[in-house]
């Protein structure tokens, strides 16, 4: 028995019950037809001239069916006589290395072989212009020298700032295409100015560079595409704010207030820039607390697709040794330094296993609570809330939520010889 087990022995782990959470499940099944119809409606492919080099900007988030969308746009550019190539457009992600960003795209099935075009990955940038308030704007050299630029991205609320636009078309231009240097320029005044900077940087790029259009995606609460449309570049400023309003209405919510503990199986860069979406967990040092506003957060693991980048880890209270061993300090630190934010550079408490992680959260709660009184929620990740586990102390509140259904009785957690959860409540249901 370790010293942690001795100290935390009195912390009682509550029973958990499996719960189904019904979200809006409508989504676009035939994504290819939807994109073809949007391309035809807007006529944006006419902007691709024969022989023109076309940079297709692709980011670091795991958008629903992103490889299918990228391949379709590539094929359409070829049909129009253009010469397409892919530019990883992800700021400082993947350790701010060209090789790392190419490898990150591979996670989503986007490679030179699968797409049939070159991936021109570089951290070199070129000067584009200056904003009205005197800030320099730079973008990826390969994209800057192309005859045209097409963006493929998801529109959604950002985790750390608010503005007319947040994560989406304008941000992909300002930060994604900006690479590490350009992203640092955009972040130089901190998150309090990010909404304005993303807007202003994006406008300079639209004015100075041949951005043809963007393929903008909005996902529903279960990470499926509910809207996909081609937005001509001259309509970015009008249309993206409207798409953001829709995206905000679809954020999955944990429908409880001021819970004692949130347990997350995994965090990852494919889900959010902060690994866990702070809009979902309700803990945000920039925007303030929101529901469910957990007193403690435990995360068990880091996804392989994060490639060791655990940016945002400072918002968490405890992780496991399994998680810690996957952390690439360089990848995370480059990301944090670029955005001039130290919270993501911090490391929470590290426990030997999942049982200790749970017990640490419970033991440190003030005032102390009995296991049956604890109000705890356990989720897989912040993009997957359709099935979760809730503690006994929350079951009455679950019954009051029309979209929730308790599908099994509360059960004590079972742990294996290493102290990790061996069986989930309601296994097989």
Q: Which residue intervals of the chain bear CATH 3.40.50.11440?
A: 31-249
Taking residues 250-255, report their average pLDDT: 89
Confidence of residue 189 (pLDDT cuts 50, 70, 90): low
Give pTM, 2 decimals. 0.81
Taking residues 306-330, report their average pLDDT: 91
Taking residues 64-70, report their average pLDDT: 95
Q: What is the predicted pLDDT for the residue at 287?
A: 67
Q: Is the pLDDT of residue 161 over 70?
A: no
* 253-302: pLDDT as tens digits: 899 999 999 999 999 888 887 888 888 888 876 667 888 999 999 999 99
Cβ burial, residue 365 (10 Å; 0-12/13-18/19+): middle
Q: Is the pLDDT of residue 226 over 90?
A: yes
* 9-40: pLDDT as tens digits: 999 999 999 999 998 778 999 999 999 999 99
Assign domain 31-249 to a CATH class.
Answer: alpha beta
Taking residues 313-334, report their average pLDDT: 91
């Amino acid at each position: 028995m370790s010293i942690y087990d001795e100290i935390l022995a009195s912390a009682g782990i509550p029973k958990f019950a499996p719960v189904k959470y019904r979200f809006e499940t409508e989504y676009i099944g035939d994504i290819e037809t939807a994109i073809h119809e949007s391309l035809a409606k807007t006529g944006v492919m006419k902007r691709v001239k024969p022989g023109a080099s076309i940079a297709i900007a692709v980011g670091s988030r795991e958008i629903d069916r992103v490889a299918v969308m990228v391949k379709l746009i590539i094929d359409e550019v070829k049909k129009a006589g253009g010469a397409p190539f892919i530019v990883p457009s992800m700021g400082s992600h993947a350790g701010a290395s060209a090789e790392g960003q190419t490898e990150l795209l591979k996670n989503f099935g986007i490679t030179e072989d699968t797409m049939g075009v070159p991936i021109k990955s570089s951290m070199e940038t070129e000067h584009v212009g200056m904003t009205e308030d005197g800030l320099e704007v730079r973008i990826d050299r390969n994209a800057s020298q192309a005859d045209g630029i097409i963006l493929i991205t998801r529109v959604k609320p950002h985790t750390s700032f608010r503005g007319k636009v947040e994560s989406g078309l304008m941000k992909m231009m300002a930060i994604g295409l900006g690479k590490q240097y350009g992203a640092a320029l955009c972040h130089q005044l901190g998150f309090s100015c990010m909404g304005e900077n993303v807007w202003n940087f994006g406008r300079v790029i639209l004015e100075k560079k041949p951005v043809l259009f963007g393929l903008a995606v909005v996902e529903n609460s279960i990470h499926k595409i509910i809207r996909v449309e081609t937005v001509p570049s001259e309509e970015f400023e009008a249309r993206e704010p409207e798409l953001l309003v829709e995206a905000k209405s679809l954020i999955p919510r944990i429908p409880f207030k001021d819970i004692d503990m949130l347990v997350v199986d995994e965090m990852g860069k494919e889900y959010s820039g902060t690994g866990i979406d702070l809009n979902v967990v309700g803990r945000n040092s920039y925007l303030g607390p929101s529901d469910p506003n957990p007193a403690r957060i435990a995360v068990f693991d880091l996804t392989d697709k994060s490639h060791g980048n655990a940016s945002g880890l400072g918002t968490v209270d405890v992780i496991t040794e399994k998680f810690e061993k996957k952390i690439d300090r360089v990848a995370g630190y480059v990301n944090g330094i670029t955005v001039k934010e130290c919270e993501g550079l911090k490391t929470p408490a590290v426990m030997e296993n999942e049982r200790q992680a749970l017990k640490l959260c419970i033991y440190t709660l003030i005032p102390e609570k009995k296991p049956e009184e604890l109000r705890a929620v356990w989720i897989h990740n912040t993009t997957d809330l359709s099935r979760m586990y809730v503690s006994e102390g929350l079951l009455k509140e679950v019954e009051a939520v029309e979209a929730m259904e308790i599908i099994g009785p509360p059960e004590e957690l079972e742990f294996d010889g290493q102290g990790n959860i061996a069986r989930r409540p309601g296994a097989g249901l």
